[in-house]
Amino acid sequence: MKALLLRVGKGRAPWADAAAHEYSRRLRRLELTEQLLDPAPFRGDVEAVRADEARRILAALRPGDRLFCLDERGAALRTEDLATRVDAAARDGQRRVVFAIGGPYGHGPAVRDAAHTVLALSAMVLNHELARVVLVEQLYRVETLLWGGSYHH
């Protein structure tokens, strides 16, 4: 199954690149790619920033995608529950699962409304690079649960 990690940010965090790469290289069945979107310029209106970033996130989606929106207001799932949802996407014929990490001001309502699942990685707010690393590590756990492996116990 294909997966896209779509994130809004500036990047440039070598420690996060190294950690995310370490877990992505372990993936065998989940074909993970990443796409980085530049944050919208802030001109005094947070909602305008969220709306612009939401428009660009939604424009990156293709027919057959299942969107998972990462947001602290989302559901706190166990790894096994996330695995069940990824497996359901595959069984439902979805071509790709897309995990969206918003910009500095979070997601606009359009992204949350379009998402199949709004997912919280933690009840605490995580910086975007840390959220990226946690998500990629969890996707590796999901893969071992769904398709075999000894990482998750």
Residue 116's alpha-carbon distances to 12, 26, 73, 149, in angstroms, are 30, 26, 14, 27
Q: Rg for the chain (alpha carbons), in Å? A: 15
pLDDT in tens, 121-139: 998 888 899 999 999 999 9
Residue-level pLDDT at 150: 74
Q: What is the mean pLDDT of the chain?
A: 94
Q: What DSSP character marks residue 39?
A: P
Count the helix, strand and coil residues of the chain and give each as a percent rounded to the nearest 5: 45, 25, 35
pLDDT tens per residue, range 65-108: 999 999 988 999 999 999 999 999 999 999 999 999 999 999 99
Protein fold of 2-147: Alpha/beta knot (3.40.1280)
Per-residue model confidence (pLDDT) at position 18:
97
pLDDT given at position 152:
59
pLDDT band of residue 153 (cuts 50, 70, 90) is low
Burial grade of 81 (CB within 10 A; 0-12, 13-18, 19 or more): middle
Mean pLDDT, to the nearest integer, of 54-73? 96
Q: Domain-by-domain residue ranges, the chain?
A: 2-147
Q: What is the pTM of this model?
A: 0.94
